[in-house]
Chain A
Amino acid sequence: MLEIAIIVAAIAIGAGVALLAGGLVGIGEGYVAGKAVEAMARQPEMEGSIRTTMILGQAISESGAIYSLAVVLLLIFTVVLPLVNRLLELL
């Protein structure tokens, strides 16, 4: 039983650490948005295409965060929850 508890704790910590990718991607996307605002201020007539490119670039660089989110969801829903149910049965 203690072994299962340790496994659950380790996986939960791992899931939390994996979400650090979200924070780092946030920094990158904020930088992209700031640069886009600079570009729009310099050339207001290009606003439309700058906005499209900005959203596209942000969406692509968001992949990292989305992968980490998928990993976290997989960990929690397919590994941790059955183990927790098993623990509750044992108690």
Chain B
Amino acid sequence: MEPKVLFYIHTFPISEPLLFTWIIMAAVAIACFFLTRNLRKVPRGVQHLLEVAVEGIENVVVGDMGPEGKVFVPLILMVATFVGLSNLIGVVPGAVSPTEDLTTTLTLALFVFVVGHVAAIVKKGFWPWLKGFFEPYFFMFPINLAGEISQVISHAFRLYGNIFGGSILIGIVYMLAPYVLPVPLLAWFGVLMGIIQTAVFTLLAVIYIQIKIN
């Protein structure tokens, strides 16, 4: 299950998912730099599409968390962009989705978990936050703790299982019939499932943060 190591920088192994994570990060950074030159009051061209996307995410976040959720819009937008591009890059022949590796998805899930709890501490204060673990009765503490941990695990495994399972299925079909048959499967598992899983991961991130701060 370990990812393939491509080469070493000194003794630091560079695996396939890590390389493609860096490629996506570079692409997003370059796109952000060039698309935000000469912004206009009346949008034109690509600015239209980007504003539609940003407003869509903002509507989802504000509709779920209320006006105070506006702080989280850039974060959720970042998660959605990264997960979406990681899922879709798997369609390119020779490329590997970073989300096919449990490390990437577990990192993202832990990140959402930590952000949710820090936001809860900032909003409610430390002792009320700690008291939240002992609701409704003090002996419910282990169950609440298990719930928090399993939430991270299920959040990470959902994305990983879907993308990894799809890629294994496509690999098996490639071995059996390498020419025409994989194309509709790639369209289904690569593009459609990739977009749906991105939406699900983003929505769940919004809802997990919202549950923690309320």
C-alpha spacing A73/B160, complex, angstroms: 12
Identify A70's interface contact among B161, B203, B204, CB under 8 A.
Answer: B161
- Determine whether the beta carbon of A67 is less than 8 Å from that of B1: no
For residue A41, which residues in chain B have a CB less than 8 angstroms away from its CB? none
Answer yes or no: B168 CB below 8 A from chain A CBs.
Answer: yes
User: Least Cβ distance of B23 to chain A in Å?
Assistant: 26
Q: Which residues 43-91 of A sit at the B interface, judged by CB distance below 8 A?
A: 52, 55-56, 59-60, 62-63, 66-67, 69-70, 73-74, 77-78
Q: Mark B187-214, 1 if CB is under 8 A from A, else 0.
A: 0000000001001100110010000000
Max chain B Cβ within 10 angstroms of own Cβ: one of A52, A60, A70, A74? A70
Given A63-B154, A66-B157, verify A52-B203 contact (CB < 8 Å): yes
Given A63-B154, A73-B168, A77-B1, verify A55-B196 contact (CB < 8 Å): yes
For residue B199, which residues in chain A have a CB less than 8 angstroms away from its CB? 55
Q: Which residues 151-171 of B sit at the A interface, judged by CB distance below 8 A?
A: 154, 157-158, 160-162, 164-165, 168
Closest to B197 in A: A59
C-alpha spacing A55/B200, complex, angstroms: 7
C-alpha spacing A63/B160, complex, angstroms: 11
Closest to B162 in A: A66
User: Considering only CB atoms and an 8 Å cut-off, how many residues of chain A contact the other chain?
Assistant: 15
User: Considering only CB atoms and an 8 Å cut-off, how many residues of chain B contact the other chain?
Assistant: 16
C-alpha spacing A33/B1, complex, angstroms: 34
- Determine whether the beta carbon of A63 is less than 8 Å from that of B1: no
C-alpha spacing A54/B161, complex, angstroms: 20
Closest to B196 in A: A55
- Determine whether the beta carbon of A56 is less than 8 Å from that of B204: yes
A–B Cβ pairs within 8 angstroms, 17 of them: A55-B199, A55-B200, A55-B203, A56-B203, A56-B207, A59-B158, A59-B200, A59-B203, A59-B204, A62-B158, A63-B157, A63-B158, A66-B157, A66-B158, A67-B161, A73-B168, A74-B1
Measured CB to CB, the residues of B under 8 A from A are 1, 154, 157-158, 160-162, 164-165, 168, 196, 199-200, 203-204, 207
The 10 closest A-B CB pairs, nearest first, are: A66-B161, A59-B200, A69-B161, A63-B154, A77-B1, A66-B158, A69-B165, A70-B161, A66-B157, A70-B157
